[in-house]
Amino acid sequence: MAANRISTEPRAVSAADGRVDWVDYAKGICIVMVVMMHSVLGVELASGQTGFMHVLVAFAKPFRMPDFFLISGLFLALVIGRDWRVYLDRKVVHFAYFYVLWVTIQFGFKAPSFAAETSWSHVALLYFESFIEPFGTLWFIYLLPLFFVVTKLTRKIPAPAIWAVAAALEAAHVITGWTVIDEFCARFVYFYSGYLFADAVFALSDRARARPSLALAVLALWAIVNGGLVALGYSERPLVSLMLGLAGACAIVTLGTLLARMRWLNFLRFLGEHSIVIYLAFFLPMAATRTLLLHAGPIHDIGSISLIVTFVGVVGALALWRIALGVGANFLFERPPLFWIAPKKAGPVLQAAE
């Protein structure tokens, strides 16, 4: 019999059906907040006005991306021990494929306006620059592979030391003007926290499911504190931003658990299951609806326009996905075998924020 030994990795989690209900709810909440942010700020920038939706965007800012990155790291313990070929295929090539494809699609729509402002040669330069400086809304899937690789490369370094450095980088509020550097410093601590504290996150979910009344009370207190610090202008101060990011991520985990427990708002679970679809494609219906409503629509209230643009961004992305599948353009949302560098493994697997 082999001798027992203590594992230095976070405990792997499992689910019989290959998915975890509250994770999908949490991802659904997050992707709606992401689309909302881009929609609201885009409408307000184009119109030069602000509306009632601005308050919601400001409230969600401290935790909107921290929660997405924390969930992305939750299931890493299940795959980090794989050989590099498989690991790079699942965690680097996967995202690289969609980044290259969709940055090209986005440029196809935006190139004419860029060329009108400068020249076509400058547009070509901007396109190639997007592989160094992430383009538009796609920076999330540009950054995730870096997080996956760095975490695997640093496995032999004591985890508390890695977390402490990551937390210090977030608290430093690094601003270089380069998205990769700035966002890496600001977000890696949340991704690594999901990986390192996966057991604690799942235990939090279990407690929320077992004691929903207490969980609701804590959520109410969190909302007051988060909203108050945002309103007072303290939410982006060093250490405060880190605490609000982690607290907000825990709040979304709790909220996702309560919704899953009650089976309420099931559409959020569906959105979470297809968050990558929405993330990749929402820019097109969002931009088209914004332009239409601001220039030719009968609605003049900026908040109402922002709300409609958010809704159409989410639903429109799903519609584009269904159309793509219907016409055989699956490659837009599914990586073809040609771009796999390791074979697929049969059977269900737990889903991260992918």
> Chunked in runs of 10, what are the mean pLDDT values of the chain (354 residues)?
36 55 96 97 96 97 96 95 95 96 92 83 88 92 97 97 98 96 98 98 97 98 98 96 98 97 95 96 96 90 97 98 96 95 61 39
What's the domain count of the chain?
1
**Residue 219: predicted pLDDT:** 98
Whether 12 is covered by a domain: the verdict is no
Whether 15 is covered by a domain: the verdict is no
Whether 129 is covered by a domain: the verdict is yes
Domain of residue 192, residue span: 21-334
**Residue 102: predicted pLDDT:** 96
d(CA 33, CA 8): 35
Whether 350 is covered by a domain: the verdict is no
Whether 324 is covered by a domain: the verdict is yes
Whether 55 is covered by a domain: the verdict is yes
Q: Residue 185 is encoded by which pair of tokens?
A: 């410093």
**Residue 114: predicted pLDDT:** 82
Whether 339 is covered by a domain: the verdict is no
Q: What is the pLDDT of residues 148-167, one digit of tens each?
A: 999 999 999 999 999 999 99
Whether 345 is covered by a domain: the verdict is no
**Residue 18: predicted pLDDT:** 67
